[in-house]
């Protein structure tokens, strides 16, 4: 078989374990042109669905890789643009479900979910990840949507979809310094996410080169405040931070330093809790934490009279 045209990986994914990626739309065809997009600015800003891929070809490519790979957790549509713009999405997903016994996921910005056929096609997936970075003016500033889109229609359709969908919904919110980290803006986003009631809520920071140079990640303080706002209203177990490009490795508690680093890659950790873990392994837990601060691996951030260990965000 020739070079794979639609399929890449499997690659370790921050949300989905070992994920075999499907790129079903050409670069860079999207309904948004997000300021933080790691693919650069959108060159084909559109809301028109077209048959961008060849379903049989995609499934053949997947099968040839699945046959040689020991472990694939998900087959994930994560293209160079917005996957629901592909009119053949539903057809491809149906054939995959028919022929391959691996769960199917899609990372979509959700901007076409108000279209009935898109909603039906998304129901074929076991996991649907939806993007919600801001509402109204903030949505326009961050996501720079196609002018025919309306955030109210999108949000209402997301909430409607969640009522009947049987799989897992994830949401992803990108936090950007000086843009959507003010508490009133975050509270609006949290209110919408509460109505959707997803399985998991992810907070991302721009860690790869963004479309616009001025886009900066939040400070560790801003990230902690945002995390607390989300966790307080949605539940701590539901909210996770994606602040590393690769999924954190999970170490057994026997290696307490690595264990703590892997934990705070996902959730900021209370100082007293970290000390609790560390003192099982060292009589100087405080010193070990100071060393991690000096090594610039973590930051200590005070929030509402509690000190938290927060993963240091790498700035370009
Ligand atoms: S929706 Fe995704 S692909 Fe489209 S511009 Fe935004 S980040 Fe890039």
pLDDT at 269: 86
Section 29-43 average pLDDT: 96
Residues 105 and 180 in one domain: yes
Please count the structural domains in the chain.
2
State the pLDDT confidence band at 256, using cuts at 50, 70 and 90.
confident
Residues 111 and 63 in one domain: yes
Q: How far apart are CA 273 and CA 60, in angstroms?
A: 49
- pLDDT per residue over 111-159, tens digit each? 999 999 999 999 999 999 999 999 999 999 999 999 999 999 999 999 9
Q: Residue 226 domain-assigned?
A: no
State the pLDDT confidence band at 63, using cuts at 50, 70 and 90.
very high
Given 216, 231, 248, which residue is the final one in a domain? 216
- pLDDT per residue over 226-235, tens digit each? 999 999 999 9
Pick from 119, 143, 147: which is nearest to 133 by CA? 143
Q: Residue 238 domain-assigned?
A: no
Q: Look over the chain and give the mean of its residue pLDDT values, rounded to a whole number.
A: 91
Task: Let me know how many helices (H) and strands (E) the chain has, helices first.
Answer: 10, 13
Question: How far is ligand 1, taken at its centre, from the CA of residue 36, in Å?
Answer: 8
3-class SS at 83?
Answer: helix
Residues 63 and 192 in one domain: yes
What does 86-140 look like in DSSP terms, one character per residue? BTTHHHHHHHHHHH--S-EEEEE--TTTTSHHHHHHHTT-SEEEEE---SHHHHH
Residue 144 CA, closest ligand 1 atom number: 5
Query: Which residues have C-beta atoms less than 6 Å from ligand 1?
Result: 30, 32-34, 37, 39, 42, 81-82, 109
For Cα atoms 6, 109, 215, give the angle at the middle one, nearest 5 degrees: 100
State the pLDDT confidence band at 278, using cuts at 50, 70 and 90.
confident
Section 16-26 average pLDDT: 93
If you take atom 3 of ligand 1, which residue's CA is the nearest one? Answer: 81
Mutating to test ligand 1, I would choose from 24, 30, 46, 215 the residue with most ligand atoms within 8 A of its C-beta, which is 30
Residues 37 and 178 in one domain: yes
Residues 76 and 193 in one domain: yes
**Residue 91 tokens, joined:** 């057809």
pLDDT at 313: 79
State the pLDDT confidence band at 1, using cuts at 50, 70 and 90.
very low
pTM here? 0.89
- The yes-or-no verdict on residue 255 having pLDDT over 80 is no
State the pLDDT confidence band at 218, using cuts at 50, 70 and 90.
very high
Residues 173 and 111 in one domain: yes
HSE (side-chain half, CA atoms, 13 Å) at 4: 19
Question: How far is ligand 1, taken at its centre, from the CA of residue 81, in Å?
Answer: 6
Residues 84 and 199 in one domain: yes
pLDDT at 261: 84
Residues 120 and 51 in one domain: yes
Question: How far is ligand 1, taken at its centre, from the CA of residue 38, in Å?
Answer: 8
Question: How far is ligand 1, taken at its centre, from the CA of residue 87, in Å?
Answer: 18
pLDDT at 9: 86
- Cis before 10 (ω within 30): yes
Question: How far is ligand 1, taken at its centre, from the CA of residue 37, in Å?
Answer: 5
Q: Residue 194 domain-assigned?
A: yes
Q: Residue 137 domain-assigned?
A: yes
Residues 286 and 206 in one domain: no
Q: Say if residue 312 is exposed, middle or buried (CB neighbours under 10 Å; 0-12, 13-18, 19+).
A: middle
If you take atom 7 of ligand 1, which residue's CA is the nearest one? Answer: 37
CATH code for position 273: 1.10.10.10
Residues 169 and 263 in one domain: no
Residues 16 and 143 in one domain: yes
Range of the domain at 277: 256-311
Residues 97 and 155 in one domain: yes
CATH code for position 150: 3.20.20.70
pLDDT at 159: 98
Q: Residue 296 domain-assigned?
A: yes
Given 216, 245, 273, which residue is the final one in a domain? 216
- The yes-or-no verdict on residue 39 having pLDDT over 70 is yes
Given 216, 242, 273, which residue is the final one in a domain? 216
Q: Residue 222 domain-assigned?
A: no
Q: How far apart are CA 188 and CA 9, in angstroms?
A: 36
- pLDDT per residue over 77-109, tens digit each? 998 999 999 999 999 999 999 999 999 999 999
Q: Residue 294 domain-assigned?
A: yes
Q: Residue 84 domain-assigned?
A: yes
Where do the H-state alpha helices sit in 144-237?
151-164, 183-196, 220-234
Residue 293, H or E segment = helix 285-294
pLDDT at 54: 96
Question: How far is ligand 1, taken at its centre, from the CA of residue 272, in Å?
Answer: 39
Share of the chain above pLDDT 70, in %: 95
């Amino acid at each position: 078989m020739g070079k794979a045209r639609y399929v890449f990986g499997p690659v370790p994914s921050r949300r989905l374990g070992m994920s075999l990626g499907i790129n079903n739309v050409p670069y860079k065809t999207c309904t948004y042109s997000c300021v933080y997009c790691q693919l650069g600015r959108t060159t084909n800003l559109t809301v028109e669905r077209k048959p961008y891929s060849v379903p049989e070809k995609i499934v053949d490519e997947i099968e040839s890789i699945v046959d040689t790979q020991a472990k694939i957790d998900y087959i994930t549509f994560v293209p160079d643009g917005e996957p629901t713009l592909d009119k053949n999405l539903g057809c491809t997903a149906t054939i995959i479900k028919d022929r391959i016994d691996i769960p199917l996921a899609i990372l979509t910005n959700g901007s076409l979910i108000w279209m009935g056929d898109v909603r039906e096609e998304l129901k074929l997936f076991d996991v649907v990840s939806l993007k919600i970075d801001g509402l109204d003016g903030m949505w326009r500033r961050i996501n720079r949507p196609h002018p025919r889109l309306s955030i109210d229609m999108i949000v209402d359709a997301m909430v409607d979809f969640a009522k009947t969908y049987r799989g897992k919904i994830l949401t992803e919110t990108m936090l950007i310094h000086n843009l959507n980290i003010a508490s009133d803006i975050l509270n609006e986003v949290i209110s919408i996410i509460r109505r959707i009631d997803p399985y998991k809520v992810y907070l991302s920071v721009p860690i790869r080169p963004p479309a616009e140079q001025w886009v900066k990640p939040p400070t560790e303080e801003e990230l902690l405040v945002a995390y607390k706002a989300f966790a307080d209203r949605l539940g701590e177990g539901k909210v996770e931070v994606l602040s590393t490009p690769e999924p954190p490795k999970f170490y057994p508690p026997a290696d307490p330093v690595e264990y703590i680093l892997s934990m705070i890659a996902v959730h900021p950790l209370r100082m007293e809790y970290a000390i609790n873990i560390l003192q099982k392994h060292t009589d100087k837990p405080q010193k070990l934490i100071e060393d991690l601060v000096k090594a610039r691996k973590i930051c200590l951030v005070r929030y509402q009279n509690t000190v938290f260990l927060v993963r240091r965000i790498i700035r370009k």
